Amino acid sequence: MSSTRSPLAPASFPDLPPIAGVTPRVSRAQYKTWDRCDLTFVTLSPGTSVAGVLTKSRCPSPEVEWCRDAIPLGQARALVVNAGNSNAFTGNRGRAAVEAIAARVAGHLGCLPSDVMVASTGVIGVPLPIDKAEAGLDAAFTAEPCSWESAAATIMTTDTFAKAAVSEVVIDGRIVSLVGIIKGSGMIAPDMATMLGFIFTDASVDPVFLQKALGEANRRSFSCITVDGDTSTSDTVLAFATGQSGTSRIEDENSPGADAFRSALDDLCTRLAQLVVRDGEGASKFITIDVEGAESDDSAHRIALSIANSPLVKTAIAGEDANWGRVVMAVGKAGEPAERDRLSIRFGTTQVAINGLAVEGYDEAPVSAHLKGQDIEIGVDLGLGEGRATVWTCDLTHGYIEINADYRS
């Protein structure tokens, strides 16, 4: 956790409502030598539905593998999140730690170990110490319930601020809330999700529908962000629906409230994903990249990511340099259909290139003024079709190097 708050951070932590059937607690397992809570324990009421999206890394953590096996069962009673140690690349010792955590929580709650979801984040290659995990859990079992802000802060590692959002939807004439907390700052280029994110709602939702809705929301949010082009071994986003709102159950797309719930979930996931980018390691600019005119949406997405992950584009933005040639380079290297003489580029609302040529009489002053701000827009039109995509990223500064050159110390 950094002591220097990101300049892109929101002014304050949002006001989040309690979610019926969800009780968060935190404790100190002391996975690292720091003076802070680093274990989050959330209990969930019986009958809670669970869904999740997990990293596509071929070197996943035991926690990811555990959740991958447990999520299809559709039910959850608890969540445990460890910060400071990712428990990844730790072989059988890592798996044993996850099994020990799930068993201890199951014994405490009287549920099955598979009802316990586990996630860890931090240094790779160091086995999670079972004795510290069990002591941390025992302390959490008897701790007082904590605020959402405390829970969000406890799951942080190199983050500079606690991240959360809330969305509301009306079902059966009642207000149903969705609350999300998330952590992530570096190693962000998800194939499915980003670092660790957890969503809680009191809506009654069938787990199959919840999984489908979360997967769709993920494709438009968590899978549309990048900080540094690196996908974590531990990326996990889980959604829990306790059913304690008293509203009718959303079974499928045709159920009353299904569309509204999906919309609220999409909104929540998008805002959580953007918060991660706003805390990108060393970031000073939040960058929105809009690509249109591609042959397909998937092609537009890959082109947008090529631009967003380009160190040359990101450093140009950090230096407030309107070097649109670097955007041309990133489009060209993406491996997607593109025709030079149809390509158009804008910074903010100012068109800098049209149909493969610089705009005649182009005035760089408004672009320079735009780049001095914190929220930057880059627009690309390939002129080939109807495909479009939006990706969010941040600039690349010397601060990123300082953080990651020192990460394990």
Domain-ending residue, one of 278, 308, 323: 278
**Residue 216's closest CA among 228, 224, 204, 226?**
224
Is 232 assigned a ligand-binding role in the annotation?
no
Convert 134-151 to b/e letters by CB count within 10 Å (16 or more is b).
bbbbebbeebeebebbeb
Domain match, 247 and 298 both? no
Domain match, 139 and 226 both? yes
Does residue 15 form part of some domain? no
Domain-ending residue, one of 229, 246, 278: 278
Q: What is the CATH number of the domain that holds 231?
A: 3.60.70.12
Give the pLDDT score at 194.
Answer: 56
Domain match, 161 and 290 both? no
Domain match, 102 and 217 both? yes
Does residue 118 form part of some domain? yes
Does residue 4 form part of some domain? no
Give the pLDDT score at 187.
Answer: 63
Does residue 5 form part of some domain? no
Does residue 331 form part of some domain? yes
Is 315 assigned a ligand-binding role in the annotation?
no
Domain match, 173 and 210 both? yes
Domain match, 149 and 234 both? yes
Does residue 14 form part of some domain? no
pLDDT tens string 273-317:
999 999 988 889 999 999 999 999 999 999 999 999 999 999 999
Q: Which domain holds residue 30?
A: 22-278
Domain match, 175 and 206 both? yes
At which residue do the structure tokens 């994110």 appear?
197
Is 177 assigned a ligand-binding role in the annotation?
no
Is 157 assigned a ligand-binding role in the annotation?
yes
Total number of domains constituting the chain = 2
**Backbone dihedral angles phi then psi of residue 21, each to the nearest 5 degrees:** 90, 5
Is 251 assigned a ligand-binding role in the annotation?
no
Domain match, 137 and 26 both? yes
In the chain, which residues have pLDDT < 50? 409
Domain match, 271 and 301 both? no
Domain match, 265 and 294 both? no
Does residue 1 form part of some domain? no
Domain-ending residue, one of 278, 303, 327: 278
Count CB atoms within 10 A of the CB of residue 383. 17
Give the pLDDT score at 185.
Answer: 74
- The full 3-state SS of 81-128, as one line of letters, equals EEEEECCCCCHHHHHHHHHHHHHHHHHHHCCCHHHEEEEEEEECCCCC
Is 63 assigned a ligand-binding role in the annotation?
no
Does residue 392 form part of some domain? yes
Concatenated DSSP letters of 10-65: -SS-------TTEEEEEE---SSS-SS--EEEEEE-TT-EEEEEE---SS--HHHH
Give the pLDDT score at 2.
Answer: 55
Q: Are 193 and 223 in contact (CB under 8 A)?
A: yes
Active-site amino acid positions: 194
Give the pLDDT score at 381.
Answer: 98
Q: What is the CATH number of the domain that holds 358?
A: 3.10.20.340
Count CB atoms within 10 A of the CB of residue 336. 21
CA distance 290 to 307: 10
Give the pLDDT score at 406.
Answer: 67
DSSP 259: H
Domain match, 248 and 181 both? yes
| Cβ neighbours for 321, distance < 8 A, ≥ 6 positions apart | 371
Domain match, 218 and 343 both? no
CA distance 179 to 165: 6
Give the pLDDT score at 198.
Answer: 98
**Residue 224's closest CA among 264, 186, 189?**
189
